[in-house]
Every structure is written in structure tokens, then in C-alpha cells.
Chain A
Amino acid sequence: MECPSAPPGWPAVFAARARIMDMAEHGTLAQVLRATLDELEELTGSCIGFFHFLEADQETLTLQAWSTRTARDFCRAEGQGAHYPLGRAGVWADAVRERRPVIHNDYASLPFRKGLPEGHAELVREMVVPILRGERIAAILGVGNKPSPYEGADLERAALLADLVWDIAESKRTQESLRFQEAALECSLGAVALADPGGRIQYVNPAYVALRGHQDRFRCLGLSLWDFWADPETAGAVRRQLFEEGRAAEGEMKALRFDGTPFDAHFTASVARDAQGNLLGVLGTFLDETERRRIEDALREREFFFKESQRAAAIGSYKTDFRTGTWRSSAVLDRLFGIDESYDRTVANWLRIVHPEDQEAMGAYLVEEVIGQQRPFAREYRINRIDDGETRWVNGLGELAFDPEGRPLSMIGTIQDITERKLRDEELKHKNEEMERFTFMISHDLKGPLVTVRTFLGYLEQDLASGRSERVAKDMGFIREATGKMGRLLEDLLEVSRVGRVVNPPVQVTIGELVRDAVLALAGAISSRGVEIRAELAAVTLHGDRPRLEALWQNLLENAIKYLGDQPAPRVELGVEAAPAGPVFFVRDNGIGIDPRFQEKIFGLFDQLDPASEGTGLGLALARRIVELNGGRIWVESEGPGHGSCFRFTLPAALRPAKEAGHER
């Protein structure tokens, strides 16, 4: 280390002071402090320089600056602004404790020198000068490691710089603090006005200018602060509270813009006093309530519409957190899932809501496709509502967020109840299938007899022309048969079309009543064939088109009776069984049974297993049509010929009150 050897003379001290004052003009406090320490180092031939403020408590030293050289060559200790309690500072702080300048020319040999902060410059000798302001020590200024011992002249030089630097430092500190406060006021979004005790405005910030509707702030200056109040009486009350009761005021106000437009504002008003308690002026702050309320209203409105539209469209929303494995749900989603607050919203419990038949596929979809391949969630699936167990169709959508390693973080999305749409789709599909069956039927069944009639009419002509009278009767027999069949087909066709077309207003009817009517209608056939009828019916109430529901039971009972075969003890049972998805109705007989291979075909329009049997094959087709109109399914169970048959069907739409059976028409 190279230190200046000879201390310069007094002119050098004044030149240094001049340079410091020069720097004070434009430099920051930190720059001035550092320059002062550098100058003092130079003047005293020291290698180290430091400056500490002593806080008002006279207990805490705040390191404010190092000299350039100290910072560069010696000291790697804690930086600027670090605080130490006085008690922990080393002997270098003796100047504070003893309230006078101190010189330690043999620092290393001092007892109780305590530590210096870690990384601190190694001190050989030092000189520390306290800067006293009244009774209070404001700061200490120190230099160290002069090659020769410090003496009185060094102290005098230090004192000359110390006084100067304190004056500069104090005004700089105040200036900087004021600049900061002003900047804060200027940038504040709240409108601020400062007025003298008479209420004449001395300062306003830009927010005030904007709120008041002025062109620029200079027009505001000198005006009365109280003019902002639309109602002079309220302004007067605020004034009285401030000046007479000595309390700050706060509240809502009707405010006036400069052009006279009133608006709602929130204000605070307080008086400012100096340390001696002299009234300096009035401080007013103002916030535009109109804007705040407008934003609040808009937000409330938007939220309302959002909630309403979600409710109306039955769209629920959720957020899943994959780190905790839980999800949150909107009120609409809760209703859709049939859950309340107590439901444990875990991913596993979402899967539990999914219809049992879809659970495996949905679990695999979530894990493999959505999470594994980072695809958005988009699936239609079935759920079983928790509260009433009803099966509903939902459309689930969701967007995922992943961490950089590709682990899922969260998923946000919506779930919409699409049951009605699904039912309509399903119904449309059925309608199309039926239309196809109908076309097929027309082109085969109705055209067939026509072919017969026309062809045998031709044969009749030939018979008559060639005198083959023995064939006439036979040919006419074919014609009679064909026209008869055609007539029956046409009647049945009308019946089928009527079932789809004619709607009777839905009524409430028990299956007991329906079965009783069906048995009555077929009483003749039942007694002539000696059929034992067993009807064990739980009290199930249906809502629907009564004539249609009657026709359903009647057709199934008629079918059962027709195919009893030569059963010596013919029996037909009618009833209902409980099943997880709702009641299943049945008509069971001990008749000829049905080969499993033909069990689907029997429900086709005009499909008959036995062409020789009477009728056209309409009954079961009609039954199926009625069941499908009620959103249900019909099927037959039979172990084969000779083992009897059991027709089972469901009527989900007829189990709900009429207004909910939306697809019933």
C-alpha cells in the first residue's frame, strides 16, 4: 500500500472544502461523503476513511460511506447502510462513547478493542471525530493507517471538513427525503391538495388536477379547497371538525368538477402542524367513487351474467390441483354432480362420480392422453349423480398447466350437462333407423302382395283364355290371400304411425292399473286358453301417454298368450323388479320360448318367426316403439325353444314428472 507521506498545508484544506462544496451542488449525498473522506485521507496522509451516522437513539451507528481507497483496497466488510448497535462497535466508536475526538496510534495493542466486522480493513492506527449538533452526536468521521502517528493538526483538519460535510449531509438528506415525498405525491393515484390555513390551495398533484377537471395545475393554485364540495354546508361541517374539534375528517362527498358537474367522491381532510404545533395548512385527499362504483358494478354485472349463463346452460366449472390431487367446483357443477360442500373433492372421487361403465376408460383417458400426451381434456361421458344416482351425460372440457418437467400442475375447465341433447341425438338415431326399417318394409312387405295379385291376375286371364278352369280357383286363392295380407299390413301401418303421431296429454297412472286393463282387454283369449295370470306389482307410478302405455302391456301380454304353444299349464307373469338404474318391468311366460339367435329380430316391424302364425308381426315392433318413446329399452330373455320367454323393458322418461320428460312429444 502506498500512502501520501507529508500532510499538505492549510491552503490545501480550504481547496478541499471548495471542491466538496462544489460537489455538493450536483452530487448525491453518497458522492459528497465519499469525496470528503478521500480529501481527508489526502490531507492527513491516511489510507482508510469512514463516515457513520448516529441515529437519533444515540445507540445505533449507520455506516454511510467508505473512502474510495478503503472500499477498493481494504474493506470487504458489510456495505453501506449497515447498522451496528454501539455496544458491538469496536474502540473506533470510543469517539461516541467519550463524546470527543479520539486518536489510537497503536490500535493493535489496545485492550478491549473488540472486533471489527468480518472482512474489515486491518487497522494500524486511527483518528475518529464526532460531529456534535447541540447535545446530540450526529455522526462520526474517521481516518486511519497514517504511516506516522496522528497529531493535533490532523484533528483540526478533520474538524474543518467534518463540520462542512455535516451541513451538506443534513441538507442533502432533507432534500432527498423531500424529493422522495414529492415524487410520491406526484405519482399518487389519489388526488391530493395542500392548502394554507385559510383554505387557499398551495399544492395539488396531477391526480387532483385530473379529478377536478382542470386544464393544468396552476389554475388550481390559490383557489379555495372547500369549493370542491358541492354542498357548502358539508364543507363547513368538515372545517368545523378540523379546526374547532381538532379532528381529521373522512367520508363520502358530493364533489364538483371545475365545470360544475357533480360526482361522488371519498375524501379525507386533516390539518398539518409543525413541531411547535403551529397550524401550517390543510391536507385533503380525494378518490373518485363514481369510477370505483362503475368498475365494481361492471364487475358485479359481469359476474352475474357469467353465473347466470353458466346456470342457464348448466355449465359448471372446476379447477383441479394435481399437486394436492383435489379440485374446486362452482355451485352449478355441484348441482350437476349432485354433491354438497361435504363431498371430498379428490381426483379419485371425481372418477367415482363417472358412470361405472365409463370409469375405466375415463381414468385411462385422463392419465394416458390428457396428462401423458399433454392434450386438452375434451370428452363426453356419463356420470351417476351422487344425490339421486340418476345417470346424466356431460361434456367435460379442460386446459392443463404443466411444470417444466412435464408434470401436471393444474387443470381448469367446464363440465356441461348434455343429457337432453344426447337424448335428442339418440331419438334422432332411432327415428332414422325406424325410417329405414319402414322403407325396407314398404319395399318388401307391401310390394310382395302386389306382385302376387298382378301376376295371378295375368294367370287368371291365361286360364280363362285357354280354358284351364281347374287353375282358376287356385289362382284366385292366391289373390285373395295377398289382398287380405295387404289390408292387414295397411291397418297395422296406420296403427304404428298413430303411435308415433297421436299424443295424449301425460297423466299419472300406476302399473297396477295398466296391467289390469291389459288383462281385461284380453280376457277372452286368457280364459279360452286357460292361462294363469300372475301380477305382483310394486307401487310404481308412471307419468305418460296412458293409451300408449296400455298398448305396450297389452301387446306384450297378447304376444305371450299367442306363443304359449301346447303348454298344459300356461302361465304369464307380469311385474316389476328394482335395478340400480331404475325399475325394470317384465312379462314372463312358460310358452314356446325363442331361439337366442332370433331374439333381436322379433322386434322388427312385421318380422315374424313363424309365417304361419296369425297377425303381421306388429305387436313387438309396436311395443319397442312405445318403450323407445319413453327413453327405454326392451329385450327378451329365453333359454331357447320350450323354455318360455321373459320380455323386459325400462321406461325412464315415464318415471319422471311430465315436465321433465322433455323428449316426449
Chain B
Amino acid sequence: MKGEPFVILLVEDDPAHAEIVRRNLEDFRVANRIVHVGDGQEALDYLFREGAHQGAAPPLPGLVLLDLRLPKVDGLEVLKRIKADPGLCRIPVVVLTTSAAEADMARAYDAKANSYLVKPVDLEKFTGLMEAFGFYWLAWNRYPD
């Protein structure tokens, strides 16, 4: 976290959900360092500097907040690509999804997700979750250089 700004890559196709995440992380002063992409392909392009991001050198994220159900390329596929890449595999990936299905959870952890969070159907709970998330991942958690 030293020197380079800490960027959160938010992969979320639903603009409303992206808005909720952004509002909740405002208190942690990282809101302006959230990079939001709307589908799996865009996420991969950003991470691997391909497609629209070809040749660019945007800062690699310190953390990925990943939805599972995504257009073009599934969240699970994005997760696998990250974990299979030696340059990216240490980046913690926190799955944030509406699905509480056992199968989704199992598949995500099998693909080496670092955490699995289910979007609560209630503002208070959502806010509580994001607060806990912020404290844990943005304050307490230590990252390798």
C-alpha cells in the first residue's frame, strides 16, 4: 500500500448495486479509487491490459470485488483467470453476489476466492456488511508489496 494508490476493482453489471457499494465505501476514503467495470470481459481487459486497456498502465488493484453473474464472461471465469496468473494471483478477490446458493459458494472457493459475501436485502444490513468489509479488508488486512 505504500507509494501506489490502493485501487479496488469493482466488477458489477448492475449500476444500482455499484452505487450502493460506492456510497458505503465513502467513509473509508477509497471511493474515488474504485474502478468500476460492468462485465467480465472488461474486468479481464483491465487486469490483463488488453482490449480497451491495451498499452495502458493503470494501477493494478489491491483488491477485487467481484459479482458472479456477469455479461460476456462469468465472474467465476474472471476469478479463475486471476488466480491462474502469477502476476495477479495474490490479489485478494472478494465475491459479492446476490446468490446464497451452496453450489455457487463451493465453485467460488474451489476457484480460490478469498472471501464470499452475499448482498443483503436491506439497507441497514448492507451498510453493516460494507462497514465490516471496509474495516477488515481496508484497515486490518495486510497486503504483500
Contacts and interface: CB of A to CB of B under 8 A. Distances in A.
Contacts of A450: 121
A10 interface: no
A15 to B, nearest CB: 112
A448 B98 contact: yes
Nearest to A606: B69
B78 to A, nearest CB: 13
Of A439, A458, A482, most buried by chain B (CB within 10 Å of CB) is A458
A610 interface: yes
Contact of A455 (B13, B69, B99, B122): B122
Given A601-B72, A608-B71, A609-B71, A443 B16 contact: no
B48 interface: no
Nearest to A474: B19
Interface in A441-496: 443-445, 447-448, 450-452, 454-459, 462, 478, 481-482
Contacts of B74: 601
Interface in B73-130: 73-74, 97-101, 103-104, 119-124, 126-127
A481 B104 CA distance: 26
A635 interface: no
A608 B121 CA distance: 24
Given A444-B97, A447-B121, A478-B16, A455 B38 contact: no
Contacts of B97: 444
Contact of A451 (B17, B23, B39, B101): B17
A611 B71 contact: yes
A478 B71 contact: no
A607 interface: yes
Contacts of A611: 13, 38-39, 71
A598 B41 CA distance: 10
Interface in B19-52: 19-20, 23, 38-39, 41
Given A455-B20, A609-B72, A443 B123 contact: no
Contact of B71 (A456, A457, A481, A607): A607
A456 B16 contact: yes
Nearest to A612: B38
Contacts of B23: 459
A482 B101 contact: no
A382 B73 CA distance: 35
Contact of B68 (A444, A595, A601): A444
Interface in A126-148: none
Given A452-B16, A611-B38, A445 B69 contact: yes
A454 B122 CA distance: 5
A358 to B, nearest CB: 32
A451 B121 contact: yes
A323 interface: no
A440 interface: yes
A445 B124 CA distance: 22
A439 B102 CA distance: 11
A459 B41 CA distance: 31
Contacts of B121: 447, 450-451, 454-455
Closest 4 CB pairs of A and B: A458-B123, A444-B69, A452-B16, A447-B98
Interface of B: 13-17, 19-20, 23, 38-39, 41, 68-69, 71-74, 97-101, 103-104, 119-124, 126-127
8 contacts: A444-B68, A451-B119, A458-B122, A458-B126, A481-B16, A595-B72, A598-B72, A611-B13
Interface of A: 436, 439-440, 443-445, 447-448, 450-452, 454-459, 462, 478, 481-482, 595, 597-598, 601, 607-611
Given A448-B14, A456-B16, 18 more contacts: A440-B69, A440-B101, A448-B69, A448-B98, A451-B120, A451-B121, A452-B20, A456-B20, A457-B123, A458-B122, A462-B123, A482-B16, A597-B41, A597-B72, A601-B74, A607-B71, A609-B72, A611-B38
